[in-house]
Amino acid sequence: MRTFDLTPLLRSTVGFDHLNRLLDSALNTDASASYPPYNIEKLSEDDYRITMAVAGFAPAELTVVVEDGTLILAGRAQEEDGERRFLHRGIAKRAFERRFELADTIQVGDARFENGLLEVELKRVIPDHKKPRQIEIRSDQPTVKTIEADAA
pLDDT in tens, 20-50: 566 666 666 565 567 899 999 999 999 999 9
Q: Is residue 143 part of a domain?
A: no
In this structure, the answer to whether residues 114 and 46 fall within a common structural domain is yes
Question: The domain spanning residue 61 has which CATH number?
Answer: 2.60.40.790
Q: Is residue 132 part of a domain?
A: no
More confident residue, 9 or 103: 103
Q: Which residues form the domain of 86? A: 35-127
Q: Is residue 140 part of a domain?
A: no
Q: What is the pLDDT of residue 59?
A: 94
Q: String of b and e for 20-43 (b: at least 16 CB within 10 Å)?
A: beeeeeeeeeeeeeeebebeeeee
Q: What is the pLDDT of residue 72?
A: 94
Q: What is the pLDDT of residue 11?
A: 60
Q: What is the pLDDT of residue 89?
A: 81
In this structure, the answer to whether residues 30 and 40 fall within a common structural domain is no
User: Rounded to an integer, what distance in angstroms lies between the CA atom of residue 88 and that of residue 72?
Assistant: 31
In this structure, the answer to whether residues 27 and 42 fall within a common structural domain is no
Give the number of domains in the chain. Answer: 2
pLDDT in tens, 40-94: 999 999 999 999 999 889 999 999 999 988 999 999 988 776 788 888 888 778 8
In this structure, the answer to whether residues 69 and 109 fall within a common structural domain is yes
User: Which of 145, 109, 107, 140 has the alpha carbon at shortest distance from 125?
Assistant: 107
Q: Is residue 94 part of a domain?
A: yes
More confident residue, 5 or 119: 119
Q: What is the pLDDT of residue 140?
A: 83
Q: Is residue 30 part of a domain?
A: yes
Contacts of 54 (CB under 8 A, 6+ apart): 36, 62, 75, 113, 116, 117, 118
Q: Is residue 27 part of a domain?
A: yes
Q: Is residue 145 part of a domain?
A: no
